[in-house]
Chains A and B, each alone.
Chain A
């Protein structure tokens, strides 16, 4: 943009004044108060509007009352415009004309036309004066960048404004270092809440601790309760034992009582005895009564004494009477036996008289002997018969022989006679020799006798003369005789045998013929004697029976005459008859008698029972029993008392007490146990209390809800924080987005500006400072020697030169987009002469690219600058 002409209607000290400007460097020279600042302000006011009336010092209203305002003719992008502004609302009334096309444009076109330059940018960059240059002290990259963007794109001022708004809004939400912004506060709140929650979370550990402790304590409680119960029981035990101690002592005393060894002296025994004696007494009494009654009756009846006796013992007598028939039979039997015995005795005596020659009965044959005898007897008879036959034969033969030789018979006879004689002689000699003195004679005599006998029988006989006939006869006779002899010998032998037998059996005196009869008699005798013996035994039995009976009768009825059985029987029968008579005639007496009988029986039984009772208990009398019983009962009492005590104490207690040595120990134990109970109870109380406390704490922890509330609060807070953060981020992002977009639209000219500024600064400081560096927060410069200097370290003048360099560089670099003239109003007052000249030279240089309007009071400028357009304001 190039300003061609300034026409002032009325502004500050100027009115109706026109300044023609050229494209390059325009120098407006004038002393103080010549209106240099007014002109600068005029350019700003026409382009960007009059300041509000709140700041009248900035309005430069004309002092002389002429029309406020003016016009500027300028060329922009090859088109000429005429802009006029006069006093009016909102910065003044604007009239804009496109003079090239002769078009009047709406006032709103102006900012767009001017864009991106606005009052701010103009003031900050293009309108330079001493105070403005001072702003370098606040300059930073951001400011520069903002200015860059400001001029970088169309409409960027709006966006920059928005971006700033967003940033401001964002700063209100959050500043990384801040405290006040909402998000910072929330963060703070979050930290506090988190701390609170953490504190509350500590409850979690406590909860588990409590829970665990609760579990342990419950276990402990159960244990203690069990222990306590046990201990209580023990203590109670001891207490009971203590309470029972006197009882125990008593029990111990009683314990000395020996156990009763006698049996059968119990209460029931005594009762039994009582019953028995009572029974006996009662029966005796009733018997007595009956007897009295009977006596009375008897007195009435005039009974004989025997019967009276009988009545008393009828029980014993009656069985005897019942036995009477048997006894009678026995008596008869006895008598019969006696008779039999006498008979048998007689017969035996007869036989004895007959056979017992020597006072001794021959013995009976045995069977063998009988057979032998029979054999021998038959042999004998045979032999005898034979001999008789032989004798007859012989006799015949002898007859015949005598017929033939009768002498012979004669001769023979003497022989035969002689034989006996010999024998007799021998016998006589034998017997006679016995009377001889001296044994030798006797023996010789006996031998002689035998020899004589032998001679007579055998030798004499053998010398018998015989003829032939005679001889045969004689032989026959001899033969027969021999046979006869033989037979006789047999007979003799047999006879001898028989004799032997007879001798052996005492039958010597009896002929063999009678033996059979004798044998029969002997057998009969034997039988008789046997029967006699048997009879004697029977008789003895019977007699005994009878005698016994008599004795029995005698015993029970002493009055009874018992000598004669018949009398006895009669008497007994009489008794029976009497009794029967009494029974039939007088039932009373009978009844009484019967009763008496029963009474007697009962008395006997009772007495017997008592006796048995006493005997089984090995005592003599009831008194003895009672003594014993009393003793036993006392023992029993003591025992039962002891038992009662034992029961009172109980088995266990008793056993426990028995283990106790003495009371002191027991007391000691009881005390210990009680104190133990107290201890356990205390522990239990402690645990229970702790449990209750723990439960309370648990309930508190569980129910407080602090954690949950805090957590929810935190969650809500975080939601808010997130929302705020999002807001903040969005604001910042949009701001960044705008900036980025503007940067993109404006292109990145910053490095170029910095580079150019460095060159300008180099020139301005006459090569003292060679480089400018823009840091995010500030500017710094490098000296020729390489040392860096911050703006704050620079002298005021050097700092202002830096600002000038940057601003000029900006103007130059941005000229292709914004050809805004640079208006410098006495900007170099703090420059030394050298540098001021350098500045002028620089301005001259840049005026090739940028229109420069230099307002100055310094006349040196004319030496330094060869300008086409020098306007002296004083003109």
Chain B
């Protein structure tokens, strides 16, 4: 038996955290989710797998992407022609409810319903496989669906498909489950989806997240793809294969002798030349400097003007390295907040009154009307990010005060 386990294709979803991209790269970015998915389907056909499991989030329903739908139709037709069944359990992004989905996928595609059901396939080898799964009926599934999964069927293999997250005990919106529960089903394989970072929860029988096929943010750095699973001596052995068309990377550079942006620029070019990528790679650099940059340099860096200029001037270097530097963040070792003329305690008192959720909310004010900003603002790490940024800013000002005072 041989099959492919993929999840979280997120077709036609935009890349996040980018501000400006050259149009050529923009096209690549736009097509990357499709290219990655195509790589998976290509592999399925090349390997002549028995079936393909897609464990949810094939696309983002809210995005109403025509391209994604058209692409799926086309690819499913392709697999249909190759006589490869496709089993889909929709997740929180491509949940079932869609008034527009009036045209059914080709005959080889099975979409699990809102309740757990089991599909049994008889393979060319004569082996039988039972596959159990369900689709999200809406954006959230808050209850544990594991009890609805049947025990190992009287087939040669039994595979569970689950789009969800390990239960944390509170605020679980994504079909929470526990590893022990799944193991108790005694399946031969658990094809999980939802978590974008591929990970093996249990070695044998394999219980794993395939991860997404294409990273879409700097937080999804590293190679992405799907798993080709083959039966070896009565066990299922998953093997990762890469599918991502564009990679993300966040290298950290320690540049001890850089004090100016000019030097930094040179160092970055040197680094690019030394670290070429095999695929287009969106690279967000974090640079550690021994001391803060001069005021003007810091301003230039902070405003983004310097990066824009650098990107424009170092296009060649980036192209040669197959990397595109999307961000340069400078951190300074040992920067601390201390004002000589005002007691530390006043600053702390001030911080205590300033960095309160209520104050943040009040300050954010009308900006909350913008969903994108509201989204960003309500993120857990945003307040701490803000505070950190504020401290950095204050530190910078204190430096100036020192200059001013002396």
Contacts and interface: CB of A to CB of B under 8 A. Distances in A.
Interface of A: 153-156, 158-159, 162, 174, 176, 183, 187, 190, 201, 203-205, 207-208, 211-212, 215, 698, 701-702, 705, 707-709, 711-712, 714-716, 718-723, 725-727, 729-734, 736-745
Contact of A720 (B19, B21, B64, B349): B19
Contacts of A732: 363
Contacts of A714: 14, 372
Given A719-B18, A733-B390, 4 more contacts: A705-B30, A715-B18, A741-B342, A741-B346
A52 B103 CA distance: 80
Given A158-B404, A719-B18, A729-B364, A153 B65 contact: no
Contacts of A183: 367
Contacts of A176: 365-366
Contacts of B355: 733, 737
A730 B390 contact: yes
B370 A190 contact: yes
B103 A212 contact: yes
B12 A207 contact: no
A399 to B, nearest CB: 149
A712 B15 contact: yes
B20 A721 contact: no
Contacts of B365: 176
Contacts of B393: 730-731, 734
- Main secondary structure, interface of B, reads helix
Contact of A736 (B65, B70, B363): B363
Contact of A153 (B16, B29, B346): B346
Contacts of B363: 729, 732-733, 736
A375 B380 CA distance: 166
Given A211-B103, A212-B103, A737 B14 contact: no
A714 B287 CA distance: 28
B376 A712 contact: no
Interface string B1-31: 0000000000011111111110000100110
A173 to B, nearest CB: 11
B131 to A, nearest CB: 27
Contacts of A158: 341, 401, 404-405
Give the size range of B's interface with the partner. 35 or more
B376 A725 contact: yes
Contacts of B66: 203-204, 207, 701-702, 707
A730 B103 CA distance: 50
A62 B148 CA distance: 98
Nearest to A736: B354
B349 A721 contact: no
Nearest to B216: A715
B107 interface: no
Contacts of A702: 66-67, 70-71
A737 B386 contact: no
B15 A715 contact: yes
A741 B366 contact: no
A459 to B, nearest CB: 145
Contacts of B73: 211
Closest 8 CB pairs of A and B: A741-B350, A740-B350, A155-B341, A204-B64, A715-B14, A208-B100, A718-B372, A744-B349
A301 B204 CA distance: 131
10 contacts: A153-B342, A187-B370, A711-B13, A711-B63, A716-B19, A719-B19, A721-B372, A723-B19, A730-B390, A741-B349
A852 B363 CA distance: 42
Nearest to A700: B66
Contacts of B347: 737, 741
A698 to B, nearest CB: 7
B261 interface: no
B67 A707 contact: yes
A726 B385 contact: yes
Contacts of A729: 360, 363-364, 386
Contacts of A155: 339, 341-342, 401, 405
Interface in B316-361: 339, 341-343, 345-347, 349-351, 353-355, 359-360
Contacts of B394: 734, 737-738
A190 B347 CA distance: 37
B69 interface: yes
Most chain B CB within 10 A, of A176, A187, A744, is at: A744
Interface string B47-72: 00000000000000001111101110
A737 B350 contact: yes
A708 B386 CA distance: 31
A740 B397 contact: no
A740 B386 contact: no
B16 A719 contact: yes
Contacts of A707: 12, 63-67
Interface in B355-406: 355, 359-360, 363-367, 370, 372-373, 376-377, 385-387, 389-390, 393-394, 397, 400-401, 404-405
Contacts of A744: 345-346, 349-350, 353
A821 B144 CA distance: 75
Contacts of A711: 12-14, 63, 65
A839 B372 CA distance: 58
